[in-house]
Structure 1
Amino acid sequence: MFAVHQAPLLEEPWLEFKNLLVRQLAFCVASPNILSAIPSELVLKHVFQLHDNVTWQTHFQNYQARLRYLDQHPQELEIFLQQLKSTRLGLRFEMFIWFWLLDQNVHPYQLLGHSIQKIAGPKTLGELDFVLFNHETGKVEHWEVALKYYLAERDLSLAYWYGLNRSDTLVRKLNHFSQKQFQFADALDYPIEQRFAVLKGQLYLPIEHSPQHIPDWVNFQRRLGYWGSCIPPQSAHFYRLQRLEWICPQQHISSDTAQWWSNGLYRQKETNNFYMFRHAPLLAQKLEN
Structure 2
Amino acid sequence: MNNLKAQFEGFYNTPALFETLNDIRQFEFEAIEYKKHDYAKFEILQKLPLGKRVEYFFEEYIKLSNRYNLIYKNIQVIENKNTLGELDFILFDKKTQLYLHTELVYKFYLYDNSFNEEINRYIGPNRDDTLLKKLEKLKTKQFPLLFRDETKNYIDIDLKNVFQNSCFKANIFLPYKKDVKTSLINKSCIKGFHINIIEFLKLPEFKEYKYFLPHRYDWILDASSSTTWKNYGEIQEEIQVFLDLKKSPLVWLKSQTDYKVFFITWW
Work out whether the TM-score is over 0.5. Answer: yes
Q: Deviations over 1:140-192 (max 9, x none)?
A: 00111122111111157222322123221111111111111111237612116
Equivalent pair of 2:214/2:252 in contact (CA under 8 Å): no
Distance across 2 between alignment mates of 1:143 and 1:86: 26
**Is 1:253–2:214 an aligned residue pair?**
no
Aligned residue among 181, 184, 187 for 1:213: 181
Contact 1:111 1:132 survives alignment (8 Å): yes
Would the aligned equivalents of 1:241 and 1:255 in 2 still touch at CA under 8 Å? Answer: no
Partner of 1:275: 262
For the structure 1 residues 226 and 137, does the alpha-carbon distance in structure 2 shift closer, same or farther, using more than 3 Å as the test? same
1:228 corresponds in structure 2 to 195
- Distance in 2 between the 1:146 and 1:193 partners? 19
Deviation at 1:74, TM superposition (A): 3.2
- Which of 163, 169, 174 aligns to 1:200? It is 169
Q: List aligned pairs for 1:1-289, cutoff 5 A.
A: 20-38=3-21, 42=22, 48-51=24-27, 55-56=28-29, 58-59=30-31, 62-63=32-33, 67-70=34-37, 73-77=38-42, 80-82=43-45, 87-103=48-64, 106-153=65-112, 154-155=114-115, 157-183=118-144, 184-185=146-147, 188-190=155-157, 191=159, 193-207=162-176, 210-214=178-182, 216-229=183-196, 230-231=199-200, 233-243=205-215, 244-249=217-222, 252-259=225-232, 260-261=235-236, 262=239, 263-269=248-254, 271-278=258-265, 282-283=266-267
Structure 1 residues 273 and 206: CA distance shift in structure 2, 3 A = same
C-alpha distance 272-201 of structure 1, shift in aligned 2 (>3 A):
farther
Q: Which amino acid aligns with 1:75?
A: A
Q: Which runs of 5+ in 2 are unaligned?
A: 240-247
Farther-moved stretch of structure 1 (29-38 vs 107-116): 29-38
**In the aligned structure 2, how far is the partner of 1:213 from the partner of 1:30?**
24
What is the distance in 2 between the residues matched to 1:20 and 1:235? 30
Instruction: Looking at secondary structure, tell me which structure has more strand per residue.
Output: 2
Contact 1:162 1:168 in 2 (8 A): yes
Higher helix share: 2
TM-score (norm 2): 0.78
Aligned to 1:12: none
- Kept in 1, the 8 Å contact 2:194–2:262? The answer is yes
Percent identical across equivalent pairs?
A: 22
Structure 1's 169 and 26: CA in aligned 2 closer, same or farther, altered over 3 A? same
Give 3-state SS (helix, strand or coil) of 2:106's partner: strand
Q: What is the distance in 2 between the residues matched to 1:271 and 1:254?
A: 14
Partner SS state of residue 227, structure 2:
coil
**Secondary structure in 2 matching 1:168:** coil
Asked if the contact 1:20–1:250 (Cα under 8 Å) also holds between the matched residues in 2, the reply is: no
1:201 Cα shift?
3.0
User: In the alignment, which residue of structure 2 is the partner of 1:10?
Assistant: none
Secondary structure at the aligned position of 2:229 is classed as coil
**CA offsets per residue over residues 222-277 of structure 1, 9 Å max, x none?**
23321011326245334223122201137543331341331421223354531111
Aligned-residue RMSD, C-alpha: 2.5
Residue 201 to residue 239, structure 1, CA distance change in 2 (3 Å): farther
Deviation, 1:98, is 1.6
Query: Are the aligned partners of 2:19 and 2:25 in contact in 1 as well (CA < 8 Å)?
Result: no
Distance apart, 1:132 and its partner CA:
0.3
Count residues with an aligned counterpart: 236
Does structure 1 retain, via aligned residues, the 8 Å contact 2:77–2:84? yes
The alpha carbon displacement at 1:118 in A equals: 2.0
